[in-house]
């Protein structure tokens, strides 16, 4: 029996353990999985908290159903019937610009009518097909790409808010290839984004006529999906589906290589043996654990930065809010000078997020462009959030319910050179094939990305299991 220890019981660690067990059973391999978690609960940053009838998401609030991996996981666990798709309201998204909420246009005519982008800005966007394809293969930032292909106004009012909403990041430092690989590929393949959209639309029309289906272009697409009692139902479902043990309050302080495997030292002083180890913890935590095992790997892991974030949940009586809350919520360009990055209208996105006759709003504050927000007092965070809600939505009422969640290390930042850093980290561990890294610090921050990377990691574990058990 080969022992595989997975460090971290967030979605990445749990999904890896589950995939290892499923693949091992199919290959008729004997495996014993053990998941170690430093907290007294599973889920990592996934934590759905119901208080006073309000369901607050401590971290992510769902996943998009346009990719199969998470849906397949739910199906395997037998929890697909519990999935909850977001309301049609979620299709309406807004940008706050020049003291007005503008709905993001969904098609060409709506874009022309929209006042979000000025006519000079629209004309600059219309010139995008005339911009030559970039041939320099160096790692371009999102800001450099946006200015080059779309112009400053589109960068500031469209791209930058999107980057803050997904990554809590700064487009001036974020890598295009690592953050939005598909957009990079579209330019390389078709010569520009509008050219790509036209070609793909024609191809899609032809495929539909031929009875085929085709994926969409660069946009994320999909419907935001969760569960009745929050996205935590996913991690709880994976945990219940495991055959192996989950050991809580078991923080790992050190990973040491030994003959035939590894010794893991816990903060309690307890030591555990493992033939194969998978680290599914944040990059900075893995760096600490590997400091003695591989100083080079540890140093490179420390180079992956994280953005801070305050998540502020406000609950109100519905009658005290004059805004119709018909939509997903809004993002705020940095140039507007507001304290928050944006606000989601959670009770409009999913049912069951607020008591009858109430609404739940969830604002984000901080990110890579405002790292100091994490140190603000609770009263200051509340005051600044209320100021923004008054300015943007004319909400004068004090919230009946307030919860503030602080994330000193919220989201890893895929800054310029990220892909090369990850490749160097993998190269540094070539001599230790039984030590694997996974998680959102490397190949995607979304929930779908984490599940997909967990599946890929599990396949590597199975290959190592075959080698181990062929020697027996």
Strand partners, 310: 365, 406
Nearest Cα neighbor of 463 from 62, 141, 27 is: 27
Q: How far apart are CA 252 and CA 264, in angstroms?
A: 7
Phi, psi of 25 (to 5 degrees): -65, -40
Q: How far apart are CA 124 and CA 368, in angstroms?
A: 28
Q: How far apart are CA 415 and CA 418, in angstroms?
A: 6
Which run of H or E residues covers position 17?
A: helix 11-26
Q: What local confidence, expressed as pLDDT, does residue 210 receive?
A: 66
Q: How far is CA 35 from CA 107, 254, 272, in A?
A: 47, 15, 12
Q: What local confidence, expressed as pLDDT, does residue 438 receive?
A: 98
Residue pair 163/133 in contact (Cβ under 8 Å)? The answer is no
CB atoms near residue 268 (< 10 Å): 10
Q: How far apart are CA 5 and CA 32, in angstroms?
A: 8
Q: Tally the C-alpha atoms within 13 A of residue 172's C-alpha that lie toward its C-beta.
A: 5
Regions of the chain short of the pLDDT cut 50:
213-219
Phi, psi of 341 (to 5 degrees): -85, -25
Q: How far apart are CA 355 and CA 16, in angstroms?
A: 36
Q: How far apart are CA 466 and CA 42, in angstroms?
A: 29
Q: What local confidence, expressed as pLDDT, does residue 208 receive?
A: 67
Contacts from 319-323 at CB under 8 Å and sequence distance 24+? 319/357, 320/397, 321/359, 321/393, 321/395, 321/397, 322/394, 322/395, 323/393, 323/394, 323/395
User: How many residues are given for the chain?
Assistant: 472
Q: What is the DSSP string of 334-372?
A: GGG--SEEEEE-HHHHSTTSS-TTEEEEEEEEE-TT-GG
Q: How far is CA 203 from CA 207, 208, 247, in A?
A: 6, 9, 51
Tokens of 130: 């005339």
Q: What local confidence, expressed as pLDDT, does residue 211 receive?
A: 64
Name residues whose C-beta falls within 8 Å of residue 187's C-beta, 6 or more positions apart in sequence.
133, 134, 149, 193, 196
Tokens of 299: 């140093």
Q: How far apart are CA 230 and CA 10, in angstroms?
A: 15
Q: How far apart are CA 172 and CA 141, in angstroms?
A: 6
Q: Which domains does the chain have, with CATH numbers?
A: 2-44+233-304+414-470 (3.50.50.60), 51-57+63-89+306-412 (3.90.660.20), 117-209 (1.10.3110.10)
3-class DSSP state of 320: helix
Torsion angle, CA of 191/192/193/195, rounded to 10 degrees?
A: -70
3-class DSSP state of 322: coil
Tokens of 23: 């693949």
Q: How far is CA 149 from CA 131, 144, 154, in A?
A: 6, 9, 10
Name residues whose C-beta falls within 8 Å of residue 178's C-beta, 6 or more positions apart in sequence.
139, 414, 418, 419
Q: How far apart are CA 452 and CA 66, in angstroms?
A: 13
Residue pair 464/85 in contact (Cβ under 8 Å)? The answer is no
Q: How far apart are CA 405 and CA 407, in angstroms?
A: 7
Name residues whose C-beta falls within 8 Å of residue 188's C-beta, 6 or more positions apart in sequence.
133
The pTM of this model reads: 0.92
């Amino acid at each position: 029996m080969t022992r595989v220890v997975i460090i971290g019981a967030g979605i990445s660690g749990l999904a890896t353990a589950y995939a290892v067990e499923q693949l091992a059973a199919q290959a008729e391999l004997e495996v014993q999985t053990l998941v170690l978690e430093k907290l007294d609960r599973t889920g990592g940053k996934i934590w759905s908290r119901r208080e006073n009838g309000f369901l607050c998401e401590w971290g992510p609030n769902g996943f998009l159903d346009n990719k199969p991996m998470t849906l397949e996981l739910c199906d395997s666990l037998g929890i697909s019937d519990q999935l909850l798709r977001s309301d049609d309201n979620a299709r309406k998204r807004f940008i706050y610009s020049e003291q007005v909420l503008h709905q993001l246009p969904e098609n060409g005519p709506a874009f022309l009518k929209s006042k979000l982008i000025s006519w000079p800005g629209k004309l600059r966007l219309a010139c995008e097909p005339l911009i030559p394809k970039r041939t320099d293969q160096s790692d371009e930032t999102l800001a450099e790409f946006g200015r080059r292909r779309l112009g400053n106004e589109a960068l500031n009012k469209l791209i930058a808010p999107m980057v803050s909403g997904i990554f809590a990041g700064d487009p001036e430092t974020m890598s295009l290839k690592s953050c939005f690989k598909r957009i990079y590929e579209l330019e390389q393949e078709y010569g520009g984004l509008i050219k790509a959209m036209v070609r793909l639309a024609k191809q899609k029309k032809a495929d539909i006529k031929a009875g085929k289906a085709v994926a969409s272009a660069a946009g994320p697409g999909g419907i935001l999906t969760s569960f009745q009692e929050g996205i935590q139902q996913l991690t709880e479902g994976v945990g219940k589906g495991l055959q192996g043990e989950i050991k809580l309050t078991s923080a790992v302080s050190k990973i040491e290589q030994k003959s035939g495997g590894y010794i893991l030292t816990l903060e309690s002083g307890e030591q555990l043996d493992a033939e194969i180890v998978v680290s599914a913890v944040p990059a900075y935590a893995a760096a600490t654990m590997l400091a003695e095992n591989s100083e080079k790997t540890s140093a490179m892991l420390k180079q992956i930065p994280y953005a801070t974030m305050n998540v502020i949940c406000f609950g109100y009586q519905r009658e005290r809010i004059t805004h119709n809350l018909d939509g997903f919520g809004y993002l705020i360009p940095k140039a507007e000078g507001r304290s928050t990055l944006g606000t989601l209208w959670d009770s409009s996105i999913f049912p069951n997020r607020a008591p009858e006759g109430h609404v739940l709003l969830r604002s984000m504050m901080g990110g890579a462009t405002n790292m100091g927000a994490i140190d603000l007092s609770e009263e200051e965070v509340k005051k600044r959030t209320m100021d923004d809600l008054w300015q943007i939505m004319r909400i004068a009422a004090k919230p009946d319910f307030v919860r503030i969640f602080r994330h000193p290390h919220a989201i890893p930042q895929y800054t310029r050179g990220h892909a090369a850093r990850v490749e160097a980290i993998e190269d540094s561990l070539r001599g230790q094939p039984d030590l694997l890294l996974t998680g959102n610090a490397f190949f995607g921050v979304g929930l779908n990305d984490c599940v997909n990377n967990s599946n890929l990691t599990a396949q590597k574990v199975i290959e190592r299991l075959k080698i181990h058990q062929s020697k027996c």
